[in-house]
Chains A and B, each alone.
Chain A
Amino acid sequence: MVSKSGFRNVSIGSTLLWITVFVVVPYLFVLVFSFFQRDPEQIVAAVFTWQNYKDIFSPVFLVVCWNSLILALGTTVITLLVAYPFAFFLGRIPERIRRILLLLMIIPFWTSSLIRTYALIILFKANGIVNGLLLSLKLVDEPLAILYTQTSVFIGLVYTLLPFMILPIYSSIQKLDLRLIEAARDLGATSGHIFLRIVLPLTLPGIIAGSTMVFLPALGLFYIPDLLGGARSMLIGNFIKNQFLTTGNWPLGSAASVILTLIMCLFLYVYFLSSRKARTSGMGEMA
């Protein structure tokens, strides 16, 4: 009994220590720096100021935030539309095929997402595989402009983040009690009704979890839009990177990081509230 709780303490303790040293402490630096002044000689001067937060709410930064939010939101919606039907059928096909499909979905994770993004460039470029195929089939006369458009940015983001949406939805679909659907059908409900009144509410926790797991990374990712979109607009990630690596304005970059974190916390809070609500209302309907 003693050794069991000892093991528990060690495992929890080491994780806590890890998070404290590599997440909490660096983040506290960011928080503190965001209230300091920029100093060209010493990088930051330990003088308290609100100026960084006044500077950050400029029209430019609001546009940067808006661009990032729209991109993340669009990615989440498209990913959901693609992932839901896939996860639904994944939950209903024979075990053997399902295992193969799950494996196929996970294998790309063995390769770095940066390298997979470069692979997309090879597919989409003007003299690339997709355009080569279209040209040889005489479907187009000249190469389609796919690379460096908003379309290729969305394809890249959706492709990279899709498994994060599929897995939570799949697990909630697996938990779905098929007897409820049979009962509804026996009572004369149409397929549309069954989906809207039974399947959707019961898989809502999976949808919310998946959306959060797609939305939050999409908000911070900037190398995919840079590589596939041609870096023609600026996202929060680019903005923060430039403050640190171009202008040496660490306090402003820190303030922007704090704002990004606050936006993410806000969405996590919404996730927390809605998942609790989804769980209780799901229970209520079952009762």
Chain B
Amino acid sequence: MKKAFLVFFFLILPTLVFAAKQEVFVFNWSEYVDPSVLKQFEKETGIRVRYSTYESNEAMFAKLKMVQKAGYDVVFPSTYFVDRMRRLGMFAPLDKSKLPNLKYINPALLNKSYDPNNAYSVPYMWGASAIGINSKYIDPKTVTSWNDLWNPKYRGKVLLMDDVRDVFGMALRSLGFSANDRDPNHIRKAYEKLKLLKPSVKVYNSDSPRQPFLNNEVTIGQIWGGEVYQANQENPNIKFIYPKEGAVFWIDNMAIPRTARNVANAHKFIDFLCRPDVAKKNCEFIGYATTNSKAQQMLDPKTRNHKAVYPDDATVKNGEFQNDVGDAILLYEKYWEMLKTQ
């Protein structure tokens, strides 16, 4: 009886007290965290994680807009949504003194134009969108540029992403413009150029672009590095080529909405995910590249040296990150609809 009382007093009561007080509301993409990492956080800090998921940036944005008061504490927007939501004043500024593990984040991924000085966001997972080829059918040395997709010998064998920004970003880079261009003339030129590519396109796919490669339906096209890495488990002939005009990079970031109720806990949660051992465990579970340099060094050599997953700094510097394009997105979409219906 005495023992039971002691167990209650020292083990159960504290968790009840914490459960009543300490919480953090996390809103993340589905399947984008190792569940055991959340348990570990609860165990180490006593802070209860209230976890829910979304399927698109736009859905997360809408929910934050609709639920004005009882908000989430941590969200995971992509670069261009960090940019947009930061401009709309939807984030609370980060208190860097509460994020000591920030020092482990790869400096090549910090201080980008979508969030100068990372005042509001910490990179979480990242990757590149560049050219994938099947080296059984195409000599990798012959492909160096986005413009190679337009080569008539690949007619009917090309894959493009099924996403307006990814496809137009690629076409704009091939013309020497920015993937975040807002100039209507440049966007129109990209459309004219994509019209020429359309007869070559076999499939638009951004759910899992590795599948048409593995199925021998396409031999060349746009793809993410992580998809090439996964494809290589089945077929080592799928290669990833960073075009000379520069790849387009994505980062999903952690940020704290202005409506957050548990700002201190949110900082603790973000810092926890930046801890190298946690980041390593997490990226092994999710399968994307970690932004954590220390965690990357802890991975097995085959993974951490895979160029498709972890490009060198010069490749990153030569590329571009997706920013918000404001109302120019309406123009992009108009041309996208014309491209798809012609």
The CA-CA distance from A148 to B157 in the complex, in Å, is 11
B58 partner, pick from A40, A147, A244, beta carbons under 8 A: A244
Among B13-21, B97-105, B200-208, B287-295, the one that faces the other chain is B200-208
B267 to chain A, nearest CB (A): 27
Asked whether, in the complex, the Cβ of A143 is within 8 Å of the Cβ of B330, the reply is no
Of B62, B217, B340, the residue contacting A147 (CB under 8 A) is: B217
- Number of chain B residues close to chain A: CB under 8 A: 33
| Contact status A231-B204, CB under 8 Å | yes
The contact of B88 among A41, A63, A126, A128, by CB within 8 Å, is A41
Q: With A148-B217, A232-B201 in contact, do A246 and B337 touch (Cβ < 8 Å)?
A: no
Within 8 Å by CB of B215, from A41, A128, A238, lies: A128
Chain B residues within an 8 Å CB radius of A121: 211, 215
B298 within 8 A of A: no
Q: Flag whether A233 is at the interface (Cβ < 8 A).
A: yes
Check if A230 sits within 8 Å of B62, measured CB to CB.
no
Summarize B's interface: helix, strand, loop or mixed. Answer: helix
Contact B205 A230 (CB under 8 A): yes
Q: Is B69 located at the chain interface by the 8 A CB criterion? A: no
Q: Which of A40, A43, A64, A242 lies in contact with B333, CB distance below 8 A?
A: A242
Indicate if the CB atoms of A64 and B162 lie closer than 8 Å.
no
Alpha-carbon distance between A226 and B216 when the two chains are bound, in angstroms: 18
Question: Total contacts A to B, CB within 8 angstroms?
Answer: 77
Q: Let me know if B327 is at the binding interface, CB within 8 A.
A: yes
| Cα separation A245 to B334 with both chains bound (whole Å) | 14
> Which chain B positions have C-beta within 8 A of A248?
58, 61, 329
Which of chain B's residues have a CB closer than 8 A to the CB of A171? none
In angstroms, Cα B336 to Cα A246, docked, is 11
- Scoring B201, B337, B338 by chain A CB atoms within 10 A of each residue's CB, the highest score goes to B337
Choice from A128, A145, A234, A245 contacting B340 with Cβ under 8 Å: A234
Contact A247–B329 (Cβ < 8 Å): yes
Q: Determine whether the beta carbon of A232 is less than 8 Å from that of B65.
A: no
Considering the chains assembled together, what is the distance between the CA atoms of A242 and B156 in angstroms? 25
Cβ–Cβ contact B341 & A64, under 8 A: yes
Q: Once the chains bind, are B203 and A232 in contact (CB under 8 Å)? A: yes
Query: How far, in Å, is A68 (CB) from chain B's closest CB?
Result: 11
B162, B203, B327, B341: the one within 8 Å of A60 (CB): B341
A71 CB to nearest chain B CB (Å): 13
28 A–B contacts from the bound complex (CB under 8 Å): A42-B65, A43-B62, A60-B334, A60-B338, A60-B341, A63-B341, A64-B341, A121-B211, A126-B217, A145-B156, A147-B215, A148-B202, A148-B203, A148-B217, A231-B203, A232-B204, A233-B340, A234-B337, A238-B340, A239-B337, A246-B163, A246-B333, A247-B330, A247-B333, A248-B61, A248-B329, A249-B330, A249-B333
Other than the given A148-B217, A231-B205, A249-B333, 4 more pairs (CB < 8 A) read A40-B326, A43-B65, A128-B215, A226-B162
